[in-house]
Amino acid sequence: MAMIQANRIGIKDVGSTANVPNNDIAKLMYYFKCVCGAIECNMTPQMNRLSSYNSWRYLSADEIRQLIALCYVFSPDVFEDKVFFNNPALCGNSSNKFYEISQVRNQLLAVSSIVISGQSRRVNKIMVYKRTWMTEYFANPMLRLVQRYSA
């Protein structure tokens, strides 16, 4: 675990503005893209496709089920207080922001790697968020899509 201290080193926001379509599939794809921006995901072409949220219309029902399964494996409870931090103060006017770990110091405690489904993954960045972000881009879309696409 690495201690993070904001007081000694300036914090650099490394994220960019995202224009996510108002669609549950697109929002869940954006959540997955955020996960893969924060940790080493070993992106396959299919994983890239599932994180290209502006192309949400082109996913098949089977691909949407794959997305739901991946988001279940990469659910927020796996990352909370390790890679994802509910910290509205660091979000500013955004609902989420990314910071490089080497540039963040104090206020947070981050890990350098995380184990997910038995595999160790390197942490590339941390994400801070407001609770509304997690509700809008994970909880609500996941609930509705699971109900719609469950077999």
pLDDT tens-digit series, residues 21-33: 999 999 999 999 9
**Residue 35: its pLDDT value, please?**
95
121 beta partners: 114
Mean pLDDT across 121-131: 88
Contact, 1 vs 109, CB < 8 A? Answer: yes
pLDDT of residue 115 exceeding 90, the answer is no
Q: What local confidence, expressed as pLDDT, does residue 4 receive?
A: 46
Overall average pLDDT of the 125-134 stretch: 95
pLDDT in tens, 9-19: 445 677 788 99
Provide the pLDDT confidence category of residue 149 given band limits of 50, 70 and 90: very high
Task: Encode pLDDT of 47-69 as tens digits.
Answer: 999 999 999 999 999 999 999 99
Residue 9 backbone phi and psi in degrees, to 5: -125, 140
What is the pTM for the complete model shown? Answer: 0.83
Q: Tell me if 17 sits within 8 A of 79, measured CB to CB.
A: no
Measure the CA–CA gap between 77 and 47, rounded to whole angstroms: 21
